[in-house]
Amino acid sequence: MRKVLHAFAALADLGEEIAETNDFEEMVRSALHVVLGALGIRRGAVAEFEREASALRVVATRGFGEAFPPEVSSLLKIDSAHADAHTNGAGPHISSSQGVSRLEREIKGLFACGEVEVVMPLVVRGELVGAIMLGGKARGDSFSTEDREVIRSLGRHIGVGLHNHRLLREVERRAVENRKLYEDLKAIYKDTVRAFAVAIDCKDKYTQGHSERVGKYSEIIARELGWSEEEVEGIAIAGYLHDIGKLIVDRDIINAPYPIDAKKSSELNRHPAAGYEILRPIKHPFADIPLMARYHHERPDGRGYPDGLKDEEIPLGAKIVSLADSFDAMTTDRPYRRRRSFVEVLADFRRNAGQQFSPAVVAALCRALL
């Protein structure tokens, strides 16, 4: 009865040790100490099975000292065939008591005679996750059937801990892989967007690089307004694509070396709505990009196009792209006028704040550039 109570107490201690620590190796060391203390064992070790190396990696030891073989201090190489292993992608799969016995003998054979008396393979759902290796008892008596049952009970808890750690590492590994895949896809998306920006600007010989610059200026303004990194990425993409609707506008209208008449102006003014229709069916990783393209010529006073929106009806992103677009247009040479200085342009923006441009966006650009 005393042994049974002692075993239950050890089991409770082990459960508490496993539950209270997030440090994997500390958990294993504590669990090993519980096992050794429960049965008065002189020395022991716990190893985790590593699939890639087909070996047991020793996680915790106690009492071996110099007796622990240096050549196996980190990895205990085992023959997975002796464990009735199946190559099912999950690692060795223990399918019989014979397989367990063979594995026990193989691990014992790695140590000098008598150093390890008990080997307990840790198996969860038929899969080898590790092993407990125990030396003799301090009093010198043999392990009884009850002792071995206690070791099995405690070992099951340790095995579950090892299994959960393996699952966690697998989740973390896949998360890293998925993150890399996401970053790769995002890089491809951005490269594609830049290619579109080049294609857009190629139609207008006077505005080479305009779309990319609008993206950069939009990014600067958004950062000044305190937007998150993801939002900043999105507004930069919107800047690159804001003029994509010009692909449907006649090249002669875009390249006219003089101010165009009302009819041609009406044709040109179709490009924001056309850009929205081009971008709307695409699943963008950033929200509202089609709307930013549609509304980048709207004005707070309601005199913009294509929808004549006013003030708060216009998304902030569209207000940012609108100002960035105008800033680049006014600071670069056009066939019918020369570029203006930054100081002149910013003064013009301040005069038109609240009418053509958002006052908050104008203030952000001025702070960023002055």
SS (H, E, C) 324-363: HHHHHHHCCCECCECCCCHHHHHHHHHHHECCCECHHHHH
Is 117 in the same domain as 209?
Answer: no
Amino acid making up residue 260: I
Is 126 in the same domain as 244?
Answer: no
- Looking at residue 81, its pLDDT comes to 39
Is the confidence at residue 60, as pLDDT, over 50? yes
Is 43 in the same domain as 127?
Answer: yes
- CATH of residue 121's domain is 3.30.450.40
Is the confidence at residue 260, as pLDDT, over 90? no
What is the residue whose two structure tokens read 């005199």? 303
Measured between alpha carbons, how far is 359 from 217 in angstroms, rounded to an integer? 16
Is 158 in the same domain as 93?
Answer: yes
Q: Is residue 198 part of a domain?
A: no
Q: Is residue 194 part of a domain?
A: no
Measured between alpha carbons, how far is 93 from 242 in angstroms, rounded to an integer? 58
Is the confidence at residue 10, as pLDDT, over 70? no
Q: Tell which of 173, 190, 221 closes a domain.
A: 173
- Looking at residue 100, its pLDDT comes to 63
Q: Is residue 179 part of a domain?
A: no
Is 242 in the same domain as 161?
Answer: no
- CATH of residue 248's domain is 1.10.3210.10
For residue 251, what pLDDT band results from cuts at 50, 70 and 90?
confident
What tokens were used for 205? Answer: 């010989």
Is the confidence at residue 63, as pLDDT, over 80? yes
For residue 83, what pLDDT band results from cuts at 50, 70 and 90?
very low
Q: Is residue 161 part of a domain?
A: yes
Is 209 in the same domain as 153?
Answer: no
Measured between alpha carbons, how far is 85 from 94 in angstroms, rounded to an integer? 6
Is the confidence at residue 152, as pLDDT, over 90? no
Domain count for the chain: 2
- Looking at residue 71, its pLDDT comes to 46
Q: Is residue 191 part of a domain?
A: no
Is 239 in the same domain as 345?
Answer: yes
What tokens were used for 332? Answer: 């670069």
What element of type H or E holds 70? Answer: none
Q: Is residue 178 part of a domain?
A: no
Q: Is residue 187 part of a domain?
A: no
Q: Are 357 and 300 in contact (CB under 8 A)?
A: yes
Segments forming the whole domain that contains residue 276: 203-369
Q: How many CA atoms lie within 13 A of 352 on its CB side?
A: 15
Q: Is 231 helix (H, G, I), strand (E, B) or coil?
A: helix
Measured between alpha carbons, how far is 255 from 246 in angstroms, rounded to an integer? 11
Is 298 in the same domain as 213?
Answer: yes
Residues 6+ apart with CB under 8 A from 352: none
Q: What is the pLDDT of residues 292-334, one digit of tens each?
A: 999 999 999 999 999 999 999 999 999 999 999 999 999 988 7
Is 13 in the same domain as 150?
Answer: yes
Measured between alpha carbons, how far is 351 from 124 in angstroms, rounded to an integer? 73
- Looking at residue 308, its pLDDT comes to 96
Is 261 in the same domain as 310?
Answer: yes
Is 207 in the same domain as 157?
Answer: no
> pTM for this structure?
0.62
User: What does the pLDDT average to over 104-120?
Assistant: 76
What element of type H or E holds 223? Answer: helix 210-224
Q: What is the pLDDT of residues 172-191, one digit of tens each?
A: 999 999 999 988 888 888 88
Q: Is 49 helix (H, G, I), strand (E, B) or coil?
A: strand
Measured between alpha carbons, how far is 271 from 94 in angstroms, rounded to an integer? 67
Mean pLDDT of the chain: 82
Q: Tell which of 134, 152, 173 closes a domain.
A: 173
- Regarding predicted confidence, which is higher, 36 or 357? 357
Q: Is residue 189 part of a domain?
A: no
What is the residue whose two structure tokens read 């014979």? 98
Is 210 in the same domain as 126?
Answer: no
- Looking at residue 337, its pLDDT comes to 74
Is the confidence at residue 355, as pLDDT, over 80? yes
